[in-house]
Structure formats: structure tokens, C-alpha cells
Amino acid sequence: LFASCEYSSADIKNKIMTGKSNKTNNVPAEEEDDLATIQFKTAQVVDESLESTRRMLAMCEEQLERTEQGLDTINADMKEAEEHLKGMEKCCGLCILPCFRVDDFEKNPEYANTWKKDDDGGVISDQPRITVGDSGAVGVSGGYITRITNDAREDEMDENIQQVSNMVGNLRNMAIDMGTEIGNQNRQLDRIEQKALSNQDRISAANQRATKIISKV
């Protein structure tokens, strides 16, 4: 449903390990390992949450599609049934008797509005690549802290904040995509409700016509 996050847990782990090998400061190895573990676990939890949300939205979209297709099938079957009823209402198979004349259900303005072409858009298949720190994105690249000593420690702090900022930007973009998909599904739910009511009215009208034909036989 959505493309993978720009920074997966594996990518972040590689960045962390690469960053560790390039550091020139005297941070103890235990602290570096703890930081790497925390960052890796954070990315892993984000990946798992994203995958769970993808599956949920995909399941909802699939169920809604099946439901709407079922309603479309019922509508097509009712159109065929009405043609058979029209044949039984004709005198000698030539013209419809005046007592059997009814308005064409599909000429109702509400019918055209209900069964118009789907307008819920396509499923989101790609995640925007604009992240915090990129050109045109919110925020700036680097310079997140006020430098005092201007040494490697401040470089590392600024780099860590940049990574967090990028991840937050990615989460924001994913939230926008998911919100768009949820909006599409909400519109589809409204369309399903309208189609169900339309089918109900059409079936009721067909039953009345069939009852009238039987009573005249």
C-alpha cells in the first residue's frame, strides 16, 4: 500500500555503525553501543508499526472493494430482471399494457448520482521522498544547536538531531499518505451506503411489479 520508509531499521543501523567508525571524539564504547542500540530499536518499532498499518489499510480496502463489487452485481442482475418483467407486462409481446406502465428506474436523477463513476482516487503506492532537511521541506539542514566549543561532540549532537528530524519528517509524510487513503475509503463507504439503498428501492419496486403481474393473471 505504501512504499518502504526512506530509512529502514537496517539502513539506520548501517548509518550508526558507519558513524561510529568515523568519530574522533573520546566517547566510551559502552555509551556508543547503548546509543546505537536505542536508535536501532526505535527504527525497528517504527518499521513494525508502519507494516501493521499497511496491512490494516490493505485489508479494509480489499473488503470495501468486494462489498462494492457485490452491490454492482446486484444492480446488474436487477436490470436483467426488470427486462424479464417488462416482457411479461407486454400484451402479446408487442406493447406494455397501460396498467403496467412504470417509470424507468435508471432515469431517476438519484440513480445517476449513485452509480456514477468511482471518484475515490487510486491507492497510495508511493511515499513522498521530501523529508525534513531536504530542499523545499520544513526546517533546515544542520545548525540545530548553538555551538560553543565547535568540536566533534557538537558535530555528533547536530548529526543525531538531523537524523531524528529526518525520521519525524518521514513519519509526517507517511501520516499524510495514510490520511489520504483513509479519506478515500470513507468516500467509498458513503458510496456503498448509497448503492445499498438504491438496490433496496429497486428490488422493492421489482417485487411490486411482479405482484401486480401475478394478480392480473
Position 181 pLDDT exceeds 70:
yes
Any domain includes 94:
no
Query: pLDDT tens digits, residue range 103-144?
Result: 777 888 888 888 876 655 554 444 444 444 443 444 445 577
Any domain includes 71:
no
pLDDT for position 136:
42
**Distance (Å, rounded) from C-alpha 79 to C-alpha 85?**
10
Any domain includes 206:
yes
Identity of the highest mean pLDDT range in 54-58, 72-76, 174-178 = 72-76
- Nearest CA among 134, 108, 98, 130 for reference residue 202: 108
Any domain includes 155:
yes
pLDDT for position 199:
93
Provide the number of structural domains found in the chain: 1
Q: Please give the share of the chain, as a percent, with pLDDT higher than 90.
A: 16
pLDDT for position 186:
92
**Distance (Å, rounded) from C-alpha 100 to C-alpha 48?**
62
pLDDT for position 76:
92
Query: pLDDT tens digits, residue range 40-66?
Result: 777 777 777 777 887 888 888 899 999
Any domain includes 162:
yes
Name the 3-class secondary structure at 24: coil
Tell me the HSE value of 102 on the side-chain side, using a 13 A CA sphere: 20
**Distance (Å, rounded) from C-alpha 120 to C-alpha 78?**
25
Q: What is the mean pLDDT of the chain?
A: 74
Segments forming the whole domain that contains residue 159: 150-216
Any domain includes 169:
yes
Query: pLDDT tens digits, residue range 154-165?
Result: 888 888 888 888
